[in-house]
Amino acid sequence: MLTKRIIPCLDIKNGRTVKGVNFVNLIDAGDPVVLAKQYAELGADELVFLDISATLEGRKTMLEMVLKVAEQVNIPFTVGGGISSVEDVDALLKCGADKISINSSAVKRPDLVNELSNKFGSQCVVVAIDAKQINGEWIVHLAGGTIATELNLFDWASEVEKRGAGEILFTSMNNDGTKAGFANEALAKLSTELNIPIIASGGAGSIQHFTDTFTLGKADAALAASVFHFGEIPISTLKEALKEQNIPVRI
């Protein structure tokens, strides 16, 4: 059985790591370069770096910061935010990113998923989906959760898999920052319907929540921010607890 991955997420705004609740009320969580180095040393399996205001502000991801983070880590490193072309991805990979994450740009131009997969390989392409449950239906949102679309989470995830996405990063906007647990029912449906890895995001607040998302949610990886940034759950403690519950992790 493949090991389950623990992935700290660095949401970046104005050069700082930030964290909010339900995508709003952001507070400062530290220097992303310092945090990235710490996480690599503390046993994180991967890192995700999201320039959360790049799309909203109509600009590209900060290449200089990507370069600085890449110099500090020896684990896979995914970068997202403001990516809309093959050229953007080429620049990020040259700065040290291992994978890229696209969200709004994929919805606006789905062929981008095909282009990136064909050029760089599906293992490089993570499609991030921010979705909110509204009247029982999971609706895809864009631009940092500020714009609702008419897309259904499961239909869109299936389409991007067919187009060559190598992984899905699903963030539940309802659960984000609440520390009430992941959206395991939706995650389990994604994991059952798709053949590519699903990264769970939004809602981590306890070790039990990670256990639940790997067992009930059938997620391949769990991404979290505040519980790691503010020292609430040390990664080593989390992994030991998961191992004791017979969940395969890299120690």
How many residues can be counted in the chain? 251
Which of 11, 51, 176, 220 does the annotation list as catalytic? Answer: 11
The 8-class DSSP code of residue 123 comes to G
SS3 216: coil
Answer for the pair 228, 196: CB distance below 8 angstroms, yes or no: no
Which of 45, 88, 130, 220 does the annotation list as catalytic? Answer: 130
Question: DSSP secondary structure string, 73-84?
Answer: --S-EEEESS--
Catalytic, 130? Answer yes
Answer for the pair 171, 203: CB distance below 8 angstroms, yes or no: no
SS3 180: coil
Answer for the pair 46, 77: CB distance below 8 angstroms, yes or no: yes
Residue 244: exposed, middle, or buried by beta-carbon count in 10 A (0-12, 13-18, 19+)?
exposed
Residue 52, phi then psi, degrees to nearest 5: -70, -20
Q: Which amino acids are annotated catalytic?
A: 11, 130
